[in-house]
Amino acid sequence: MQHHTLSCCGGVRPSLPPPPLSFRWSKIKREGGRRLPRCARIAAQLELKPPPYSLSSLEPHMSRETLEYHWGRHHRAHVASLNNLIAGTDLDGMGLDEIVVVSYNKGNPLPLFVHAAQVWNHDFFWQSIKPGGGGRPSGRLMELIERDFGSFDRMLEEFKRAALTQFGSGWAWLVYKANRLDVGNAVNPCPSEKGNKLVVLKSPNAVNPIVWDYSPLLAIDVWEHAYYLDYENRRADYVSIFLEKLVSWEVVSDRLDVAIERAAERAREDETRRQEDDAAVTHSEAVEMYLDSDTDDSEAE
Q: Are 46 and 83 in contact (CB under 8 A)?
A: yes
Nearer to other proteins, 20 or 204 (CB): 204
Nearer to other proteins, 236 or 264 (CB): 236
Least distance from C-beta 270 to other proteins, angstroms?
Answer: 37
Least separation in angstroms between CB 234 and other proteins: 8
- Considering beta carbons, is residue 56 or 233 the nearer one to other proteins? 233
Residues found near other proteins in the complex (CB under 8 A): 69, 73-74, 77, 114, 167-170, 204-206, 223-225, 228-229, 232-233
Could you tell me if 161 and 87 are in contact, meaning their C-beta atoms sit under 8 angstroms apart? no
Q: How far is the CB of 204 from other proteins (least distance, A)?
A: 7
> Which residue from 251, 245, 216, 249 is spatially nearest to 231, judged by alpha carbons?
245
Q: Name which of 42 and 77 has its Cβ closer to other proteins.
A: 77
57 vs 205 by CB, closer to other proteins: 205
Q: Supply the minimum distance, in Å, between the C-beta of residue 45 and other proteins.
A: 22
The least distance separating other proteins from the CB of residue 232, rounded to whole angstroms, comes to: 6
For residue 245, the one-letter residue type is K
Closer residue to other proteins, CB minimum distance, 69 or 212: 69
Least distance to other proteins, CB of residue 163, Å: 15
Q: How far is the CB of 169 from other proteins (least distance, A)?
A: 4
CB of 98 or CB of 221, closer to other proteins: 221
